[in-house]
Amino acid sequence: MKGKVLVIGGAGFIGSHTADELFKRGYKIRILDNLSPKTHFGRWPKYLSPKFEKIKGNVKDRKILEKSLEGVDFVIHLAAIMDLMPDYSVFFDTNVTSTALLYEIIVAKKLPIKKIVVASSQFVYGEGRWRCKKHGEIFPKQRVNESLTQKRWDPVCPLGGEKIKPLLLEETHQDPPNQYAISKYTQELIALKLGRLNSIPSVAMRYSIVHGPRQSLKNAYSGALRIFTLQLLNNKPLSIYEDGLSQRDYVSVYDVARANADVLENPRADFENFNVGSGKAYTVLELAHMVAQTLGKDWGFKPTGEFRVGDIRHAVSSIAKLEKLGWKVRDKEEEIVKEYVNWVKEQKLDQDYLSLAEAQMKALGVVKKAAL
């Protein structure tokens, strides 16, 4: 065996697939998960291998985390609150405090942890890098609700108001626009700075939108693929925000799991952050049609004219830095969408979580309507 890995949040979407990948590579696996009702039903999912050691508990509980770290060589921290609800303190209490506590315990107990990998997000870039013909590379500020309610979806050059074109996101810049993104960037700082300070090799992974089976069907954050799939299966109109032309890049959970394992094993990744995406742009409308074609329900789609507060216009990541370590994208988006849709068909939900989430987001002002 290569050693024991603690996967925090290992019962979840990315965590369970990462555990599977590491187990295939010869590692022993211990999982710490609180089995949150937002993701699970209070019980261990059947897809977890019986060969994994499992601890149920909250990562913010010092005693539980200390117990979970006993005899561990590596840690992958994937537990997080992931939505856009305005309960700001919850994001920092869960995402940030747990990461600080992890390093605090390791330092206090002088634990021989060989490496820590933490989950960050493409969201940390905010509106990211754009190019203006007049001013060159620029970084526009976060879009404001006043502009979005008037359907001014695209940011403009902050120096002169000119039209601008989006560029690939690179690890050299960050401007987190909302509570989730701020918490993830803070996690990065804790890991990379405290890791270096205490000679604990650490890596932060900036995931693009991750697709694949086991993705939660219950929370409000799981993204357009979940929303479109559930709406089409129930013959409901699609919730296509803004004008449907926002660009995103999507990456399969299997490619993400390989990336997590690769940086765990490669010393050249130490104290670095990495984009984990496909490097390929899709509009939201293109994803909608992809899902619809998979289900044989392709018809004309119209944007709702609504928008999510704190959302970003375009986000497509450069993956050149990660590719230098030898990692490559293997899975095609069309294939992973088909696999996900087929997986969703097999799931049994006890209520309409999608409608509940949408109603909650509108009631809390997370989703707003633009002017007619």
For residue 294, the domain's CATH number is: 3.40.50.720
State the total domains in the chain.
1
Spatial distance between the Cα atoms of 207 and 251, rounded to a whole number of angstroms: 8
pLDDT at 368: 82
Spatial distance between the Cα atoms of 340 and 212, rounded to a whole number of angstroms: 5
Tokens 């049994």, residue? 348
Tens of pLDDT, residues 190-218: 999 999 999 999 999 999 999 999 988 87
**What six digits make up the tokens of 162?**
């000119």
Q: Which residues of the chain have pLDDT under 50?
A: none
Tens of pLDDT, residues 262-306: 999 999 999 999 999 999 999 999 999 999 999 998 777 888 888
pLDDT at 367: 81
pLDDT at 323: 98
284: Cβ contacts below 8 Å, ≥ 6 apart: 224, 240, 241, 242, 244, 245, 246, 248
Main-chain dihedrals φ then ψ at residue 308, nearest 5 degrees? -95, 130
pLDDT at 353: 64
257 touches 327 (CB < 8 A): no
> Which range marks the domain in which residue 85 is found?
4-369
